[in-house]
């Protein structure tokens, strides 16, 4: 395991929510599944981890205050964070006018 990844784990570990487990995948790096239902991704670099954590928390605060629950919050690149909401599927509704 590379030292930079170990440093990133140590920097991110205190921010993992209670009841969640830190995860790793090669595409998004370190993260977790938040107890509120979304996947959080932070990358593999310890260099800007404090910034990523602040950006993540700001996004969470904003989304939660608006009653939104995303599927994904990604702060791998803190200058270009993003979140993805669930797709809304509309069903075709037929209205019977009674005539």
pLDDT for 21-62, tens place per residue? 999 999 999 999 999 999 999 999 998 999 999 999 999 999
SS3 content of the chain, % helix, strand, coil (to 5): 30, 20, 50
In a domain, 42, yes or no: yes
pLDDT of residue 98: 59
Mean pLDDT of the chain: 90
In a domain, 73, yes or no: yes
pLDDT of residue 96: 64
In a domain, 97, yes or no: no
pLDDT at residue 99 greater than cutoff 60? no
In a domain, 31, yes or no: yes
In a domain, 92, yes or no: no
In a domain, 65, yes or no: yes
Adjacent-strand bridge partners of 32: 40
Closest CA to 38 of 82, 89, 85, 87: 85
Domain residues for the domain of 43 are 3-81
pTM for this predicted structure: 0.83
State the total domains in the chain.
1
In a domain, 40, yes or no: yes
């Amino acid at each position: 395991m590379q030292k930079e990844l170990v440093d990133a784990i140590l920097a991110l570990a205190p921010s993992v929510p209670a009841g969640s487990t830190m995860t790793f995948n090669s595409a998004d790096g370190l993260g977790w599944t938040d107890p509120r239902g979304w996947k959080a991704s932070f990358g593999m670099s310890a260099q800007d981890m404090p910034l990523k954590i602040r950006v993540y928390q700001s996004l969470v605060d904003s989304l939660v205050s608006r009653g939104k629950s995303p599927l994904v919050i990604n702060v791998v690149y803190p200058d270009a964070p993003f979140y993805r909401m669930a797709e809304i599927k509309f069903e075709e509704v037929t209205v019977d006018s009674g005539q």
